[in-house]
Amino acid sequence: MNPETREIFLHEAHEILSSLESDLVLLEQGGDPELLNRVFRCAHTLKGSSAVAGFDEVRGFMHSLEGVLDGLRSGMIAVDDRLTDLLLGSVDWVRLELFGGDDKIDTIGMKQELLDRIKGYRIEGSPPAADPEKEFTDVGYRYFRMRAKFRDDIFEFGINPLSIIDDFISMGSIVEMKVDDARLPELGSLNPEKCYLGWDVILKTKFPGEKLNEVFLFVRDDNKIELEDVSSRYIDEYGGKKITEDRKIGEILLRKGILARGELDEVLEEQGVTNRKIGDIIIEKGFATEKEIQCALAEQEGFRRRMETGTVRVDARKLDTLLNLLGEIVIGQSGIARIADEIPEIQGLRLKNALYGLDRTTREFQEQIMSIRMIPIGPTFNQFRRFIRDATRDLGKKIKLEIFGEETEIDKTMIEKISDPLKHMIRNALDHGIESPDEREGKGKSCEGLVRLNAYHQEGSVFIEITDDGRGIDRARIREKAVSLGLMKQDEEVSEERLFSFIFLPGFTTVEETSDLSGRGVGMDVVKTNIEAMRGTVTVETLEGIGTTFQIKLPLTLAIIEGMLVRIGENIYIIPLLSIAECLQPKRDDVATVEGKGELLHVRGRYIPLIRLHDLFGIKSDCANPWESLVVVVESEEEAVGIMVDELVGQQQIVIKSLNGNISKTRAVSGAAILGDGMVALILDIHGLVGEMTTSQRN
């Protein structure tokens, strides 16, 4: 198998295993019957694709595991902790086999132990593997015609065409099958290492077309594979009911438990006679409300749109290259704009008009590129189902995970970086936040605790919330610990925000006994460091006895920002536009110097710290006094400061470049950008700048 195909398979397998893992945990908790169908589909797809990719050990193992899943579907095996342990252990073994892992783990012994346990679940007289045609789904039978002609040297790539055809046939029952031997040479010219045959199969199945297509995922590009839905030609001939859009609406209602099977058949029978809309008949008979019909129609339309939208896998490195090229376009555009300002009025105006069109195109290009990089956060959230299941068992607690905002999209780069901080915060909630079942019952709470993950977009940012319904954070204990560490004085009054900020310091913990999960003061400092590295913030809200919420705020992307260019002396700096509250020119009376506080600026009824950026960076400024300059008021986590600048140059889209060396360690700077004239401008880290100023004031 060529490396590119192998990489595609491994990427696909990673997604399947993650989905399988979270669905198995949900299956153990009961609920939607469709879960079992999803689990079976995942297992079957993994079996087929691993065979094509040449992972025969995985194919054989999944073949054995399908026997257990078939017992589940038939109702002869019940879901319990022991079975879920077996299924999750099987996921672990496949993951190790495909991706490697701890060398100390005996994967051969692990596999044998799992196979022995699988045999214990095998039902006497049951088939060795499940028949996918029996899948519990309410969608009617469909008929597909598959025509396959493989390249003659396909065996050289380690692919057996018969295995692929077998996998396709196993997903239904054969109606017709023909072997195309037109390319078969005379016996004397026959090469046993060449593939000369083609196949033409009509399959009756309950699987949708996209699932059948997955069988040919890794051979479609280099071989002639055609799949055609021929249901309209075959259903009447073979005695089936015609599949219509109306029937699909009925099936949606059936799956949701709104309609019973007998009611659907009754409605379809009347619809066939009267030719009325199925929704009208269902409402008339009182089987469903108008709102329920509208929801089913919306779901049907959403499914149709998804089917009509083609998807293509793109290497993330190619997206990064495109993004870098976009950055060069933005820089070039800025350069042309500067030149336009220097050209005489008439010619300059024409050039500027042309630039407006280029600007619109560039922004649209940027939005499309960024949208390609955005992926839903749902899979990241769902990966914690297994973690919570295993952790709560070790802790002797009962904890349920609720997930909201799965469809919220976030930049792929940030998805990869947010997983560890989330895990640390969830671990803290499980170990320290949520009480033991006995303690909860004593407080009048449900013995089952709750962890809720939520994500949403707001004001150009992504918000992620981790909430628990536990004991809350004890402010008195945090204060006591902070005093003992010399972080504050015994009688010092501090805001809640500052008090909770101690939680994120290295080694800070109020827990007297450590556990395998947490309690060593390691983790929350990593959380804050990682989030701030993504130009994000984390805040805490808590009510003692009620619970705690950690809120993470992140930018939509790490690549491009809207920035305000400001000049200080001969230097240009960039302030992120989202951080700017206002710009003003203060009066002499608005500025005061307070001992121990430094210079303060009076803005709208409050005093805020004033930063002389030229002093901080050791550069010259045109303005010696604040009332001679402009002040940009910026905010971070409800704290505000004023930054003295000589001039506002203008607003511009900025492509962020990372910094290396000593300058990257400066807390007040988060990156750099190349301007249109080739100058390099530093991007101010407002969160770091505000934090540094407020900390120095307290000290």
Tell me: the pLDDT tens digits for 329-370?
A: 777 777 777 776 777 665 667 777 777 777 777 777 777 777
Coil/strand/helix, residue 178: strand
pLDDT of residue 647: 92
For residues 387 and 382, give the distance between their C-alpha atoms in angstroms, rounded to a whole number.
10
Which pLDDT does position 515 carry in this prediction? 57
Contact 669, 617 (CB under 8 A): no
167 touches 62 (CB < 8 A): no
Q: How far is Cα 604 from Cα 298, in angstroms, rounded to an integer? A: 49
Paired residues of 682 in beta bridges: 573, 672
The DSSP result for 610-664, as a single string, is: EE-HHHHHT---S-SSGGGSEEEEEEETTEEEEEEESEEEEEEEEE-B---SGGG
Residue count of the chain, please give it.
699
Q: Which residue ranges in the chain fall short of pLDDT 70? A: 1-5, 31-33, 52, 102-104, 122-140, 232-248, 251, 254-257, 272, 275, 298-316, 340, 344-348, 511-522, 596, 637-638, 660-667, 691-692, 694-699
Radius of gyration of the chain (CA): 32
At 122 the pLDDT is 61
Q: Would you state the pLDDT for residue 679?
A: 83
Per-residue pLDDT, 31: 59
pLDDT for position 504: 86
Q: Which helix or strand (DSSP H or E) is residue 498 part of?
A: helix 496-501
pTM (two decimals) = 0.64
| pLDDT tens column, 130-189 | 443 343 333 467 889 999 999 888 887 777 788 788 888 888 888 788 888 888 888 888
